[in-house]
Structure 1
Amino acid sequence: MEAAVTGLGLITPAGLGVPATWQGLCKGTPTARTDPALAGLPVDFCCRPPGFDPMAALGKRVTWRIDLFTAMALVATREAVADAGLDPTSWDGARVGVVVGNGSGGTASIEDAYNKVRDSRISTISPFSIPRSLPNMVAGEIAIDIQALGPNLVTATACASGATAIGTARDLLRLGTCDIVIAGGSEDACTRVVSACFSQAGALSRRTHDPAGASRPFDADRDGFVLSEGAGILILERPEYARARGAHIHAYLSGYGSTADGYHPTRPDPSGAGLKRAIAAALADADLSPADIDHVNAHGTSTAGNDLAEGTALREMFTQSPPVTANKSIIGHCLGAAGAIEAATTVLSLSHQTIPPTANLDRLDPQIELDIVTKAPRTHVMRAALSNSCAFGGQNAVLAFRAP
């Protein structure tokens, strides 16, 4: 069974809200900037949503008890619910589920509490430090905010978390457990500890002299990803439920594939075998063939290993490469939220029949043979599209969307 996508909500470095994010992605200007909060670290730049103010968006009463990753998810959820034309005061909350992906929980809250312990300022630690930082609280707070009283959970498959959440949400609809599921991902990881750890792992770009040019998926001169934060939420409904209430359907989530490389804790299988199996599973689930796919929103992290493995998988899966884009070139890597944001972007591409460009692709890696959209948006007839996500641990999640 397909799931109808009836609502979208986005908080990203490209803009606050769906229209601003779509405009920013189509403009193609990278958002990475030097960040004073990261001053003195080996990598002192990242991508943050411009001017996001939780207090203004949610009010003091809610904001004081939640972490930033939860605040972004709440705002994105409210936008998505409104976009879907749903009224939480009148729905059957027991038939509304929440599945949100997150990779690391409230790292900012944990860092703040640790700093206070280190400085012997125990009495200044907020009693909400634990509930702020627990990954599951993002789903719990959404349930409280909009009275979604059905299944409520968080998926944690690192950088595939958001895509895993959306696939899991579709399965809840298929099982008949819910009529509506709030699905997506949220992450706020632009903190000193997270930046330092990824830097030591050799995962981040070191282009401190050129932050805007740092995220360059599939480029021969790529040297790592750029930390980012944001949230993406999709409203998924049983198609008959959406049609019965006269909802506008943006797209259908037709297929979902999930696999493990079983290769290495942090490096993808260079053969791309795990991702290929995930793509094949998503296509089979959607009753589609590779020839039916008109666009791929790539995971495209700008790391040497991931881009090459993904490029290999796509080249071997498709006789002729469909147009490919990599949103991380513009908004950086939102980790656990990335798959959800890119899924929403894929839906928008189908809706607008337009593919946003990949930034910073000056010289395609000669080992990667793909048709990558660059420089400007490309108008393209699209019936179906894939959104790929890969992660530490070798976890892969692929979503197949179909135009209504």
Structure 2
Amino acid sequence: MSSQHSEIEIGGIGAVTGYGWGREVLWDGLVSGMPAAVPEEGHGPGRDRTAWVARVPEGGDPADGPSRFARAMRAAAREAILDAAAQGWVAGRRVGLLHAVVLGEVDLWREFYQAREGRVPVRDYLALMPSTPMSTLMKEFGFHGPAMNVSAMCASGNAGLLTAKAWLDSDVVDDVVFVATDLSATPENVLHFERLGVAITDAGPLEACRPFQEGSRGFTMGEASVGMVLSRGLADPYARLLGGSMSHDAHHVTSIDPDLTEVRGCVREALRRSGVRGRDIRYLNAHGPGTAQCDRAEARVCAELLAEQTSIYSVKPLVGHCQGAASAVEVAVAGLGYRHGFIPAPPRRAPGDRRLLDGRTPVAGGLTLKSSLGMGGHNSAVVLGPPS
């Protein structure tokens, strides 16, 4: 196994989630052990049904755009940039921007087609474009590196991190601002995920979503935007990104290949590219959506490829499944956990995997494997470590 690898560092974090606006609001919500989701009316046929959703509340700076999406994206990115700068980061000449997004501006597009029938001023039409919040952010900070969207369903966060690392390794940029945004929990989208049999709307998250435990039925829908500054040589980073890998099942539009050949291969390759072995992994920060097939796949891979003492946790019962921003939220949680010295794991509610953490757990150093299995066959895994 090759030990050749490079590392990059996560030097700033910003977050907008169902808990509210700000990184510390996210952390305080996680530490409380209470889910971000609340019952909302107006879901389902006739809009007469209540559903549990971890929706980003109204807020942000109106100057950042006309929608929650644009305001959340720029707020998360700005918080990460200012956080990194406060810790000594000085932007290089070539700062790139990566934005992980699957469904963008769903509220504005719905209004464009349904309420306004396409009759909008050009300025309002430009606000619909995914390039617009990126362009305004680049202008605000005077960044001149490449700016690009990344999309790999629920694995988009990991995809963005690996793209950022490739840019840095190839000397395309000096630094990367990475943002993952998904504010798509509209009644229509929630309803269709429920019809797919994976989203649970009729019970509280800690009862319905029990990753790696008996009685788990699926996940609660969530929303988030998370920003990070990625660079090298930072004085006080949250975490190190050692490496990772992605693959595709080429099997089914929603289901995981039951043979798990590509999932295993992805994890093996992530370990190899990070210069570590399975026995070096202390924590599996799992995709963990609480669905039977995903939990079964990750539990098997953990048992087969990682250490006997590897602990598992998933924060989806708390933050919800944030779709295109899911793995970015969970990477941020790992970084904040290293900084604060503990993992804010959800409390266990039922018998389950013996390796599953139960509530707040001190971090005993060690490496974290962050896995994310995106709908349609997107496999991804990245290896994170505490600051050197």
Q: Does 1:145 align with 2:147?
A: no
Partner of 1:4: 9
Partner of 1:35: 40
Partner of 1:349: 337
Q: Does 1:45 align with 2:55?
A: no
Q: Secondary structure at the match of 1:170?
A: helix
Question: As a proportion of its length, which structure holds more strand?
Answer: 2
Q: Does 1:103 align with 2:102?
A: yes
Q: Does 1:371 align with 2:355?
A: yes
Q: TM-score, normalised by structure 1?
A: 0.87
2:30 to 25, 29, 43: 25
2:277 to 289, 292, 299: 289
Structure 1 regions of 5+ residues with no counterpart? none
Distance 2:186 2:43 in 1: 7
**C-alpha displacement at 1:211, in angstroms?**
5.2
Distance 1:4 1:167 in 2: 12
Q: Does 1:387 align with 2:370?
A: yes
Distance 1:177 1:86 in 2: 25
Is the 8 Å Cα contact of residues 281 and 307 (structure 2) preserved in structure 1? no
- Do the aligned partners of residues 321 and 134 (structure 1) sit closer, same or farther apart at CA in structure 2, a change above 3 Å counting? farther
Post-superposition CA distance 1:341-384 (Å, at most 9, x none): 111111122223312112453232xxxx451112x211131221
Distance 1:4 1:224 in 2: 33
Q: Does 1:80 align with 2:75?
A: no
- Do the aligned partners of residues 31 and 250 (structure 1) sit closer, same or farther apart at CA in structure 2, a change above 3 Å counting? closer
Q: Secondary structure at the match of 2:258?
A: coil
Distance 1:122 1:146 in 2: 32
Q: TM-score, normalised by structure 2?
A: 0.90
- Count of aligned residue pairs for this structure pair: 380
**C-alpha displacement at 1:32, in angstroms?**
1.7
- Do the aligned partners of residues 185 and 122 (structure 1) sit closer, same or farther apart at CA in structure 2, a change above 3 Å counting? closer
Is the 8 Å Cα contact of residues 102 and 186 (structure 1) preserved in structure 2? yes
- Do the aligned partners of residues 311 and 136 (structure 1) sit closer, same or farther apart at CA in structure 2, a change above 3 Å counting? farther
- Do the aligned partners of residues 87 and 128 (structure 1) sit closer, same or farther apart at CA in structure 2, a change above 3 Å counting? farther
Q: CA RMSD in A?
A: 2.4
Structure 2 regions of 5+ residues with no counterpart? 1-5
Distance 2:327 2:336 in 1: 14
**C-alpha displacement at 1:91, in angstroms?**
4.3
1:232 to 226, 251, 258: 226
- Which amino acid letter does the alignment assign opposite residue 167 of structure 1? L
Is the 8 Å Cα contact of residues 43 and 205 (structure 1) preserved in structure 2? no
- Do the aligned partners of residues 41 and 299 (structure 1) sit closer, same or farther apart at CA in structure 2, a change above 3 Å counting? farther
Partner of 1:204: 199
Partner of 1:258: 246
Partner of 1:61: 63
- Do the aligned partners of residues 210 and 80 (structure 1) sit closer, same or farther apart at CA in structure 2, a change above 3 Å counting? closer
- Do the aligned partners of residues 87 and 132 (structure 1) sit closer, same or farther apart at CA in structure 2, a change above 3 Å counting? farther
Distance 1:79 1:63 in 2: 16
Q: Secondary structure at the match of 1:333?
A: coil
Distance 1:12 1:372 in 2: 24
